[in-house]
Chains A and B, each alone.
Chain A
């Protein structure tokens, strides 16, 4: 039997090496034993494309929030993903956590909210909401892309995505090659981004149905915050004017207005998508829905800092 055990151990060497490799690179700091690659680099790697972004952000944020829960959280999707926690911290003098996940649906945002609410008594909740997913036909949930690993930790070693991420992390750490981590959208010419933006508009608004369940989910959160003295503020981010034109053309302007009324009925709202001059300029946005980083930084300063909100921003409930 000793010979058999020796042979088994010998046979398992590549498996042990593989496990060691994942443990050392640890692209999501899930194991958190070795930190030979900085968190900044890992974050760049996980945001490298549309596939890695949603699952990468989800897993990273679930792991890090679970480890260090904070009272003040910003929830949302890709529109606010690039807001820096350090900027929020310095503007407010409090610890903030950005839980915005690219590709997150309302269902995913709700799951993230309840995940945080379970971990800590929340104090301030800022929730970025968008009309793009406020649609009965846009019902999906990507939470499992992160929660699967929390429920079954062995998946961290069993899923090939983690191996790919580890591989790119290692290559990036060694070579520093920016092309490994630059999102293809950052390199795309303007006309390609316009094509992509139009495709996404078609995808978002191909069919529309009033989302009763999403409104119910938001109401539940609003009531929870109300009962637990949690400051809840909704934010609607600016979009390029082509979106508004499109909504008018396809007869969804009124549902869009109803969306805003729904959100306003739940509590405080800061609405940047209210015909501001920033929405006139195409260069302020990467596509039609995502403000560029400089604009996002300005908006962050206005919402969380001393700087007053720019002219035309509508607020409700303050």
Chain B
């Protein structure tokens, strides 16, 4: 049941009516049952898995406070951490690990091979594992009390808007919202509906219509060289941004309908002036999680090492961010490249500020944003490529057989839709540009008369209806 499917709209509409029709004390239970239904609709066996996972972490949280002996508490903590990571590693990385061990074993004659395990990765596991880990770590640190109500706790891990592809929600942000009764609030419903519609527009009109060239090129990259690769180099970023931020808006909008605010994932990333800042604007629920639970503890623990600790911490953090995306060396390289860039920025910060101070501020801002954007475009080649050799081919053939023509490469089947997607992105970019400058166009729009606002909503609905393409899945569902 994808967010952009008819059945999800039906599910959401019916749930909304039921949710506000029942007494508020039953509302969390309704949301949990709805979430389990949502999960069961994807795969019924997933309900048992996620419930067991919830039970494990629920009792761990309670146990960490109940156990008074420090040693036992530490043992329980590490047991739970290893178990959570172990479950994730088993489902997501076991075949990758076996594959690489087999490569090494292959160097020695007549070594037995580790068999490939035919396992299905539970949907959303990367997201709820990190949420559970964050919860346990915070309790172990003493910065949060465990949630005693199992319904609320299970809802934290299984809440359907964020179950499939995040955001990676923090327990200290989620639970306080459930402490007081959630009453019907027309502002929540309107804001949720608006956000959902906006996300659907980004996903369906922009993301989906830009998907074809990206999928086609990465499907068989060796068939292309020159301009098609250069076009995809830039289009892939817009595609991914609109796909994922569209998904996130729909998730946030869905949650908001029920009076729950989830953490956002994006904060105008294309206006980042360096790679470090970029990661504070892109998938920030994940990057801030990694910052709080990997980078910060690491540099605190190894502060005696000085700058070295920071550099190792950066690489470790981005290695985790990279490999979190999937069991492939391409994601490792993706993470390492971010690590290299941020380390470079870390070491050259003073020098760069010195140079920048001699140049016009606008030029520096523009150039910094451009370089950051182009760097991300290049690293995204590793995100989309099936393997390292495909990525290497992509980058080394960007300017081979270069023939500057927009069409005729067999990449864009629906030219009108493709053009509309780029034009719509331009509008999105302009809105974000003004937001970045402090001009809130959304607030301006919301202050217009009803006829203008509703016309705006209908314009989006008509565009969604008219320019929707058949591609419907979300890129980040596979993680």
Contact = CB atoms under 8 A, between A and B. Distances in A.
A191 interface: no
A11 B186 contact: no
Given A4-B189, A14-B458, A152-B6, A158 B184 contact: no
A1 B20 contact: yes
B454 interface: yes
Contact of A160 (B186, B458, B466): B466
B344 interface: no
Contacts of A11: 454, 457
A152 B7 CA distance: 10
A3 B6 contact: no
Contacts of A3: 186
Interface of B: 6, 20, 184, 186, 189, 454, 457-458, 465-466
Contacts of A158: 6, 465
A154 interface: yes
A3 B465 CA distance: 28
B184 A1 contact: yes
**Binding site secondary structure of chain B:** helix
Contacts of A154: 6
A150 to B, nearest CB: 15
Given A14-B458, A154-B6, 8 more contacts: A1-B20, A1-B184, A1-B186, A4-B186, A11-B454, A152-B6, A158-B6, A160-B465
Interface string A42-59: 000000000000000000
Interface in A8-59: 11, 14
B24 to A, nearest CB: 13
16 contacts: A1-B20, A1-B184, A1-B186, A3-B186, A4-B184, A4-B186, A4-B189, A11-B454, A11-B457, A14-B458, A152-B6, A154-B6, A158-B6, A158-B465, A160-B465, A160-B466
A176 B359 CA distance: 70
Interface string A137-167: 0000000000000001010001010000000
| Interface size of A as a range | under 10
Nearest to B187: A4
A21 to B, nearest CB: 13
A11 to B, nearest CB: 6
A11 B197 CA distance: 14
A1 B458 CA distance: 23
Interface in A107-147: none
A140 to B, nearest CB: 15
Which of A3, A4, A14, A152 has its CB near the most chain B CB atoms (within 10 A)? A4
Contacts of B465: 158, 160
B185 to A, nearest CB: 9
Nearest 9 interchain pairs by C-beta: A4-B186, A154-B6, A1-B184, A160-B466, A4-B189, A11-B454, A160-B465, A14-B458, A158-B6
A1 B16 CA distance: 12
A145 B457 CA distance: 30
A132 to B, nearest CB: 24
A184 B465 CA distance: 28
Nearest to A1: B184
A160 B466 CA distance: 6
Contacts of A152: 6
A158 B5 CA distance: 11
Contacts of B458: 14
Contacts of B457: 11
Contacts of B189: 4
Contacts of A4: 184, 186, 189
Contacts of B20: 1
Interface in A262-301: none
A11 B454 CA distance: 7
Nearest to A18: B465
A14 B465 CA distance: 14
B108 to A, nearest CB: 44
A158 B7 CA distance: 13
Contacts of A14: 458
A33 to B, nearest CB: 21
Nearest to B454: A11
Nearest to A4: B186
A51 B156 CA distance: 49
A160 B414 CA distance: 15
A206 to B, nearest CB: 16
A11 B451 CA distance: 10
A154 B457 CA distance: 22
B153 to A, nearest CB: 29
A73 B186 CA distance: 57
A81 to B, nearest CB: 26
